[in-house]
A and B are shown apart, each in its own frame.
Chain A
């Protein structure tokens, strides 16, 4: 007996034909392979140079290893995406995003154009090249199962209100990393601002159609969880799709002394020097 009305799976051959007939379908959230087939290739990018193209589902996650010098663009088509992000040095994942240094070293808590995403080892993992959102956050991190259970009554990663940390743990595991390897994260497109008394004011999103573009200063493991910001005040679990595109061309180098941002501040200059020193020694 067929298990579903429109499917004939009573024999192996029929099951195979049935499974194969499902190939080639599209959904609203999926990776586009090869990346050059992305229906959402950024206007200023040649499709053939794309190395990663994906629409991440609301409540979903993704991860990728990117070469040094790769450009990574995150887009929020609906104004409801929230890209919780963690970066690692792909060669030595004990080196990873350090949120405290990312806020402290540039003397600036809010992420924006030119902001370096620093590791705990005095190097720049990625630099924010452009930003049309300005609502990012490095204070609150992502959600935990305990938080989502309190907020939404459910938090299972396979359920309707997955928590960001649980998704990070899954993504990290696929790179041989354990729960202890998931550090504090940053979120793009949704955030808070600190009031005079220290309390957080919800800034939320700046609306549909914003994007942030990063350059990988080292080979990176990128983990992204697309879930509501933990301070999103709405009682419903609201999150929209997230577009991810990465590309590489002969011109997409990591930051060099020829770039204006190299000398943006004494602190960032020394961070780039440390990064170049590491990259040169490892022949990257």
Chain B
């Protein structure tokens, strides 16, 4: 006996094209169906850069394309992020290292400074309105904190259900955050270093061609001990990384000079 489910309300009629992928070689051998990870093209110019501020380097790590990173930047230390291959979005979340319920707030950061973009001098504020870090140097015009992170789920909205298998920044945040006891509830709107999201007069917004280039940097001074989570964006469907995910370099240094920008903590 066959049962016909007739529920036109819940089952929209759609035409689903049959996937053309085959998992067998011409001689019938099964091949891996794991999608090959994005890696930057051979002719990509790479500029690994140097710290933006002078002083003793206390940490210097390379962050592979598509991978995640975390570290604690102590109060007074400066984190330099180098966009090694250019236009690589470094999706970033910040937490009070001692009390992670206090975390980066894009909305407080923007409301406090009365501007939609992050620029040199921007104080990156927490959900309690307090200063976590300050942008003390920055080599592109403006940095984004509106666009949010990509994820498997939001990719299905943006590009279609066929990209559900793609890795995303939210997944990187969850993986990296788990190392620090953080989970779903700890993921909030983030910063996208080196990503360009203009907001037009009528409210239209979108991720467009980046303003960065190989070796461009941003430097962040920690105002309190700050846990930094970075997802080196795996997104392969929008221009945030020029469809070519490249490495980032993370450098923490102890500045030996007074920096110009004072956070009004």
Interface size on B, residues (CB 8 A): 55
- B158 contacts chain A at the CB level, 8 A cutoff: yes
B129 CB-CB contact with A under 8 Å? yes
B128-149: CB near A (< 8 Å → 1, else 0) gives: 1110000000000010001111
Within 8 A of B (CB), among A87-113: 93-95, 98-101, 103-105, 107-110
Determine the residue in chain B with the shortest Cβ distance to A123. B153
Query: Which interface class (under 10, 10 to 19, 20 to 34, 35 or more) fits A?
Result: 35 or more
| Interface-located stretch among B61-69, B183-191, B215-223 | B183-191
- Provide the A187-218 mask, 1 if CB < 8 A to any CB of B, else 0: 00000011011111000000000000000000
Q: Shortest distance in angstroms between B17's beta carbon and chain A's nearest beta carbon?
A: 15
- Verify if B120 is at the interface (C-beta below 8 Å from A): no
Pick the contact of A198 from B116, B183, B206 — CB < 8 Å?
A: B116
Known: A122-B156, A141-B105. A196 touches B201 (CB 8 A): yes
A94 and B183 CA atoms in complex are apart in Å by 9
Stretch among B74-82, B107-115, B228-236, B247-255 lining the A interface: B107-115
B117: min CB distance to chain A, Å: 4
Q: What is the minimal beta-carbon distance from B127 to any residue of chain A, in angstroms?
A: 7
Secondary structure type dominating chain B contacts:
loop
24 contacts between A and B (CB under 8 A): A100-B106, A100-B148, A104-B154, A118-B157, A120-B187, A122-B153, A122-B154, A140-B107, A141-B107, A144-B127, A146-B129, A165-B128, A179-B127, A180-B101, A180-B186, A184-B105, A184-B106, A184-B188, A185-B107, A231-B111, A257-B12, A257-B13, A273-B161, A280-B10
Partner of B10, one of A140, A141, A256: A256
| A104 and B101 within 8 A (CB) | no
Q: Does B30 contact A (CB under 8 A)?
A: no
B107–A108 CB distance below 8 A: no
Kindly state whether residue B18 has any CB partner on chain A within 8 Å.
no
Q: Report the separation of the CA atoms of residues A270 and B151 in the bound assembly, to the nearest whole angstrom.
A: 15
Contact (Cβ within 8 A) B189 A99:
yes
Say whether B157 contacts A122, CB under 8 Å: yes
Q: Which of B101, B107, B187 contacts A99 (CB 8 A)?
A: B107
A178 at interface (Cβ–Cβ under 8 A)?
yes
Cβ of B107 and Cβ of A120 under 8 Å apart? no
Contact call A198/B204, Cβ cutoff below 8 A: no
Asked whether B185 lies within 8 Å of A94 as measured between CB atoms, the reply is yes
Does A4 belong to the interface (CB within 8 Å)? no
A276 contacts partner chain B, Cβ-Cβ < 8 Å: yes
Residues of A near B114 (CB, < 8 A) are 199-200, 231
Q: How far is B25's CA from A58's CA once the two chains are assembled, in angstroms?
A: 69
Return the chain B residue nearest A119 by Cβ: B153
CB distance from B173 to the nearest CB of A (A): 10
Q: Is the CB of A145 within 8 A of B128?
A: yes
Chain B nearest CB, measured from A3 CB (Å): 39
In the complex, the answer to whether A180 meets B117 with C-beta atoms within 8 Å is: no
List the interface of chain B (C-beta within 8 A of A).
8-10, 12-13, 100-101, 103, 105-108, 110-112, 114-117, 127-130, 142, 146-149, 151-154, 156-158, 160-161, 170, 183-190, 197, 199, 201-207
In the complex, what residues of B have CB within 8 A of residue A139's CB?
A: 107, 110-111, 116, 146
Other-chain residue from A93, A109, A257, A274 in contact with B157 (beta carbon distance below 8 A): A274
CA distance A141 to B110 in the complex (A): 9
Binding site for B on A (CB under 8 A): 93-95, 98-101, 103-105, 107-110, 118, 120-123, 139-142, 144-147, 165, 178-185, 193-194, 196-200, 230-231, 256-258, 262, 266-268, 270-271, 273-274, 276, 280
* Contact (Cβ within 8 A) A147 B108: yes
Which residues in A have their C-beta under 8 angstroms from that of B187?
A: 120
Residue contact B147 to A100, C-beta cutoff 8 Å: yes
Contact A100 B149 (CB under 8 A): yes
Supplied contacts A109-B203, A109-B205, 13 more A-B pairs, CB within 8 Å:
A93-B185, A98-B189, A99-B107, A99-B189, A109-B146, A122-B151, A122-B156, A141-B107, A144-B128, A145-B129, A179-B101, A182-B127, A194-B116
- Closest beta carbon of chain A to B119's beta carbon, Å: 8
Q: Nearest residue in A to B206 (C-beta to C-beta)? A: A107
Chain B contacts for A107, CB-based, 8 A: 204-206
Contact among A95, A198, A270 for B117, CB-based, below 8 A? A198
Q: How far is the CA of A99 from the CA of B187 in the complex (A)?
A: 12
Minimal beta-carbon separation of A78 from chain B (angstroms): 23
B146 touches A100 (CB 8 A): yes
A66 to chain B, nearest CB (A): 20
Given contacts A99-B107, A120-B170, A140-B111, contact A94 B184 (CB under 8 A): yes
With contact pairs A103-B146, A105-B158, A200-B114 given, residues A121 and B203 touching in the complex (Cβ less than 8 Å): no
Q: How far is the CB of B110 from chain A (nearest CB, A)?
A: 6
Given contacts A198-B117, A271-B157, contact A108 B108 (CB under 8 A): no
Chain B contacts for A194, CB-based, 8 A: 116, 199, 203
